[in-house]
Copies of this chain bind each other. A is one copy, B any other.
Amino acid sequence: MFQLALNYGNGPMLLKEIAEKEDLSVRYLEHLVPPLKTARLVYSTRGARGGYSLAKAPTDITLKDIIRVLEGHLYPSECVESPEVCNRSRFCITRDIWTKLEETISTTLAGFTLQDLVDKYYNKTHYEELQ
């Protein structure tokens, strides 16, 4: 998603390019794509000259959006979302803590957009050029 953000506005990007730049296999990346499409964070064009693009501006995609889609949840324990998995949920003190923890994780990740990463990236590059 970071590579797509870097490429935003320049047409579709190939998995092959992303694979090279991020040192991952195309086969693996293919696996990550479907949920991102369902969540309408990216769209694809098939066939030759195809590829992937972000479906929204990098300013409008938070890391929370992405991680929720790729990892499924942000809580440290299932019981936060589904109290019924444990019959102690009703009065469990620890569960209150897990809930709090999910909130801060959630807030932290929602605080970063893809654009922030892009900006960081250019700052870092710039910084290293000055060394």
Which residues in A have some Cβ–Cβ distance to B below 8 Å?
2, 22-23, 63, 87-88, 91, 93-94, 96-97, 100-101, 104-105, 108-109, 112, 117, 120-121, 124, 128
Is the CB–CB distance between B93 and A120 below 8 Å? yes
Knowing A88-B23, A91-B124, the reply to whether A63 touches B97 (Cβ < 8 A) is yes
Is the CB–CB distance between B109 and A96 below 8 Å? no
Is the CB–CB distance between B105 and A117 below 8 Å? no
Is the CB–CB distance between B93 and A117 below 8 Å? yes
Is the CB–CB distance between A101 and B109 below 8 Å? yes
Q: Which residue of B lies closest to A1 (CB)?
A: B94
Is the CB–CB distance between B23 and A94 below 8 Å? no
